[in-house]
Amino acid sequence: MRLRIEELTLVGTSRTVRFEPGMNAIVGSMSGGKTATVSCLRALLGADVRVVPELRGRFISGTVLVGERRFRIMRQLVTTSTAKVEIAEIGGLQEVWRLPASELQAGYDQTFRNWWLDILELPAVRVPRAPTDDASPLVPVTISDYLMYCVLKQKEIDTSVFGTDNNNHKNIKRKYVFEILYGLYDPEAAGLREHLRKVTTELNALTADADTLERILENTVFATRARLEVQRQETEQELVRARQADLTMTRELTESATVLLREQIGEAEAELARISDAAAAEAASISRLEELRDQLIAQSRRLTRALVAERLLNDFEFHTCPRCGAGVPDRGDEDTCRLCLQTPPQTPSPSTLAAEQDRVIEQVAETGDLLDRSTRRLEELQVARSVQVHRRTELGQQLDHATATYITDQAERIRAVAAQQARLEEHLARIDDALALHIRLQGQRERIAELEREQEDLSSRIAASRHSNAAVQQRLDRLDEAFESTLRNFDVPRFDKRPGSRINRETYMPIVDGRSFADLQSQGVGVLVNVAHVLAHQRVALHDEGIPLPNLLIIDGISSNVGHEGVDLERLRKMYATLLEAATEHIDQLQIIVTDNDSPPIDGIHRALELSDTDRLVPGVPAVSEDADHPSEDE
């Protein structure tokens, strides 16, 4: 993917750097700020902010070209992971973004760091932090990891490959990015590796659990499952015999005198309860009959008073008002009372009242007879209850005596039978628990065998996918050729024992004539090898669209420890010339930015920025060491 930086501006100052297609140079003294400029470029491309103190808190803005789209980016140079970055597309769709730098927040669907992955069409994958640890957490491959193959920093250009010597985490990321770029880490293989990781984690947990369980069982009397099954069968047979003995003893006891006494006591208690219920019912009946008798007597008395009033008071006639003493006039109307002037109510005749009186008297007599009969029945029930209570007491005393004799004779036998049953049941439960552990252990062993077969199959499939892709092998062969060719163009010192340079297929590190980077011993040679290494990756990516490496190369401190006289100067010129040739040949695809303390030793390179002790990147501040920036957290 073509990636070109067109402009970088330090907001609030007059410092604006414009870069041309092809090869650009930033020239400046040690304290001018050229390395700080590279840090700003990396921050513009999505890396974490790590700059000198004089730049912290300032804003930078820049214009970048990605493919055919152009974007304007503004970012504050702060280490806060949620600091907002503003992006606006120039022309085209004219999209606008405002995104947190590296930590996703509510209300945002991506970060500035992930935005770069989308724009550059780089795979967004998560990989194990430690490949050899199956329980290692997954971490994302970020834009800074991809830029590792595009940016050579001054403090690592002559000492290590991408600063991975003392940073194992960064070295792991370097290898993952290599596999992603060259197709070794394809999505299917990644899925297989993730599945293998889960299988291995489960396998390790099950193996540890099974080993622990087996050690526990070995130290007990239940170590052998076959012996347990024999013991269980024997214990079940003994338990059956013990229960049969218990039933036999129960039948014997059922036929004893105590059982007959208990039955008689039960019958006596049932009869006593029946008598008590009947007595309570008779008592309630007596109470109701007494109430009825009293009501009938009261009614008979009212009837007597009515008959007396009818005979003795019926002929009274008022001629004078008993209240005021005035005379009561005779109206001649016999149906109207002279005193109240109302029609008197109809009253029963004396014969009717007499008949009602006779009927009530008969009811009183009948109620009295019923009351006498219920009273006699209640007395009989009370006598029967007393008899039954006395019988229950005698039966209880007989049972107490029989039980005492029974306990004396049978207590030891009962205890022995009960103890034997309890012991056998407890022993059978222990055997069942131990057998359950053996069954669980067997299930774990079967699952372990299944997981081991699955693990072996996954490993074989991963290995096959890793080595069966012919296109990947062709890319790696072209990378070896490009690396060897670039080293010869630089005129790097060679070693005769094992001529030929390549990329190690296991570590993906450059090998020069059989020597690893750590064995080169010369920092100047290390610079030449590092530059040749990154340029070789760019050359292969430019001719292979399947390699998603961004076509941008930033080299900070290109002449570090190379030398500026004699053969060393000639090698420096050849390195510059080779870079310029590559940038010119692919001027529309590849942009190269180099920084150096001195001007480029050849012509044709655009000087994008020139700095010095008197003309620094940040004017008016004291000189600072350009090594003050620190590696970012994702490196």
Asked if residues 451 and 202 have their Cβ atoms less than 8 Å apart, the reply is: yes
Beta-carbon contacts of 216 under 8 Å, excluding residues fewer than 6 positions away, are 437
CA-nearest of 633, 630, 553, 634 to 156 is 630
What residues pair up with 63 in beta bridges, in sequence order?
Answer: 7, 72
Which domains, from first to last, does the chain contain?
3-186+469-621 (3.40.50.300), 225-311+345-449 (1.10.287)
Asked if residues 164 and 177 have their Cβ atoms less than 8 Å apart, the reply is: no
Residue 521 in tokens = 């011993």
Q: What is the residue type of 362?
A: E
Asked if residues 583 and 23 have their Cβ atoms less than 8 Å apart, the reply is: yes
Three-state SS string over 568-596 comes to HHHHHHHHHHHHHHHHHHCCCCCEEEEEE
The structure tokens 């990321």 sit at 173
Q: What is the residue type of 87?
A: I
Strands 138-140 and 151-152 turn out to be: unpaired
- d(Cα 186, Cα 209) in Å, to the nearest integer? 34
Asked if residues 529 and 520 have their Cβ atoms less than 8 Å apart, the reply is: yes
Helix spans in 468-565 (H):
470-490, 523-542
What's the pLDDT score for residue 467?
Answer: 57
CA-nearest of 380, 379, 368 to 290 is 368
Dihedral angle of Cα 138, 142, 144, 147, to the nearest 10 degrees? 110
DSSP class of 601:
S
- CA-based end-to-end distance of the chain: 23
- d(Cα 114, Cα 121) in Å, to the nearest integer? 10
- SS3 label, residue 76: strand
What's the pLDDT score for residue 631?
Answer: 42
What residues pair up with 501 in beta bridges, in sequence order?
Answer: 512
The helix (H) or strand (E) run that includes residue 365 is: helix 350-467
Q: Tell me the HSE value of 24 on the side-chain side, using a 13 A CA sphere.
A: 22
- d(Cα 548, Cα 546) in Å, to the nearest integer? 6
DSSP class of 93:
T
What residues pair up with 320 in beta bridges, in sequence order?
Answer: 327
Is this model's pTM higher than 0.85 or not?
Answer: no
- d(Cα 471, Cα 178) in Å, to the nearest integer? 15
Q: Walk along the chain (635 residues) in steps of 10 and give the mean pLDDT of each run.
A: 93 90 90 87 93 89 95 95 95 92 93 95 87 76 94 91 86 92 77 80 86 77 77 85 77 62 82 88 88 85 75 61 76 66 68 80 86 88 87 82 60 74 84 82 88 86 69 90 94 77 91 88 90 96 92 92 86 95 95 93 94 81 46 40
Quote helix, strand, coil % in the chain, to nearest 5. Answer: 55, 15, 35
Burial of 380 (0-12, 13-18, 19+ CB in 10 A): middle
DSSP class of 519:
G
- d(Cα 444, Cα 334) in Å, to the nearest integer? 119
For residue 2, which phi and psi values (nearest 5 degrees)? -70, 130
Beta-carbon contacts of 60 under 8 Å, excluding residues fewer than 6 positions away, are 8, 9, 10, 11, 40, 43, 44, 74, 75, 77
What's the pLDDT score for residue 218?
Answer: 75
The helix/strand count (H/E) of the chain reads as 11, 16
- SS3 label, residue 103: coil
Region for residue 94 given its phi and psi (left: phi exceeds 0; alpha: psi -120 to 50; beta: otherwise): left
- SS3 label, residue 61: strand
